[in-house]
Each structure stands twice: as C-alpha cells, then as structure tokens.
C-alpha cells in the first residue's frame, strides 16, 4: 500500500510541474469573440444591415406614403404611418441600426481593405457606405456625418448640412474609383 501511495505522489508531482503550459490560466483571451475580422466577413454584414433596414421599414414607409399599397380597413398595424402621424421615436431603431451596424461595419471593411490594398473590396465598401449615407440624408436631411462614427471619442456629433454630405459622398466615390483595380495580386483575385 505504501508503494502505491509513493508512486501516486510522484506521479502527481510530475503531472503538476510538467502537465500545465504557461497559457493554462490565461483567462484574458475570450475564445468566443475574435479581436479582428476579415474584410470578407464584415462587408456582407454591413450590406445585410443596410438591406434589412432599407428594404424593410423604410420601404414600408415609402410605399404607404406614396400610396403604392395600403392596409385593409379593419387593420391598424400601420395606422400611424398611414395617417402621417409619426413620432420622433418611431424609426429610432432603424436609425441606430444604420449607424451602429451598417456604417460601422462598412467603415471597418473599408479600413481593412485599404490596409491590405485590396481595392475591389475597398470600392465595394465605399459604394455601400455612400449609399447608406445617401439614404439617411434623403430621409432625415441634416445628419451627423463628419463627426459621426468616432465611438466614445465623440458621443454628440454635430449635424451636417445635407448638401455638404452629398458633395462629400461624390468625393469619396471618385477616390474609390480612382484606385487601380487591376493591381490586385493573385491571392486577392482568388478571394474576390
């Protein structure tokens, strides 16, 4: 019995000193949340966010107001939209989704594509970003633009004039179109 206890003690000590790596107790890295993402994964998320808002709620608003369709007499699902009785908070979720979802993802995709000099993804991200900005300025007029998307550095961005936003979008598109798309490497072409 003493020999078994002795061997068990030696094996326990051996396992204690050799069995654990240095990163065994590294609990500061969350394996479920990536620190960064590839542009190929972020760009579709931004596009989908824009498509969901524009093709859903904003399409419904425009369709009812332009009288392309309406609801039945007994229905009251869209009675506030149908009677032009919107409140300031009615489309707050869509506003937030376009800023915190779509524009944030598209800005990140554009930044990563520029860093990798992947100009085709840069052009796609810039085009979708400009389209999203254009939808916002078409619906709301003055919007936060130049000081927007700064995160905690600027929690209250100023609202910019609609004409300034339109002019700035043309400059952004011209800049993205000026990049040489034929300068892509073979690896970048395979990913596109």
At 126-153, the pLDDT tens digits run: 999 999 999 999 988 999 999 999 888 8
According to DSSP, the residues that pair with 143 across neighbouring strands are 160
Q: Answer yes or no: is 156 within a domain.
A: yes
CA 111 to mean position of chain CA atoms: 12
Q: Answer yes or no: is 11 within a domain.
A: no
Least confident of 65-69, 144-148, 163-167: 65-69
CATH number of the domain within which 108 lies: 1.25.40
- The pLDDT value recorded for residue 130 is 97
SS3 81: helix
Domain count, the chain: 1
Residue 111 CB-half CA count within 13 A: 10
- The pLDDT value recorded for residue 16 is 63
Q: Answer yes or no: is 9 within a domain.
A: no
Long-range contacts of 143-147 (CB under 8 A, 24+ apart): 144/99
C-alpha closest to that of 65 among 80, 47, 54, 46: 80
Percent of the chain, pLDDT > 70?
84
Q: Answer yes or no: is 165 within a domain.
A: yes
- The pLDDT value recorded for residue 17 is 65
Residue 138 is part of which domain span? 39-191
Q: Answer yes or no: is 16 within a domain.
A: no
Instruction: Mention every residue, 6+ apart, whose C-beta is less than 8 A from residue 2.
Output: none
Look at 139 and 125; give whichever has higher pLDDT.
125
Task: Provide the token pair at 89.
Answer: 């908070």
Q: Answer yes or no: is 134 within a domain.
A: yes
């Amino acid at each position: 019995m003493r020999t078994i206890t002795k061997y068990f003690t030696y094996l326990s000590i051996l396992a204690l000193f050799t069995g654990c790596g240095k990163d065994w107790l590294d609990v500061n890295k969350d394996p479920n949340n990536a620190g960064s993402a590839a542009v190929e994964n972020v760009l579709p998320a931004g596009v989908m966010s824009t498509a969901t808002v524009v093709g859903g709620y904003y399409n419904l608003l425009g369709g009812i107001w332009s009288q392309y369709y309406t609801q039945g007499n007994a229905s009251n699902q869209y009675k506030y939209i149908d009677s032009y009785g919107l409140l300031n908070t009615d489309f707050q979720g869509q506003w937030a989704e376009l800023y915190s979802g779509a524009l944030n993802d598209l800005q990140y995709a554009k930044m990563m594509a520029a860093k990798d000099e992947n100009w085709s993804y840069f052009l796609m991200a810039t085009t979708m970003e400009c389209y999203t900005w254009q939808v916002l300025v078409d619906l709301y007029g003055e919007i936060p633009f130049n000081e927007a998307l700064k995160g905690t550095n600027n929690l209250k961005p100023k609202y910019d004039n609609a004409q300034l936003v339109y002019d700035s979008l043309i400059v952004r598109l011209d800049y993205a179109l000026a990049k040489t798309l034929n300068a892509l490497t073979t690896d970048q072409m395979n990913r596109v």
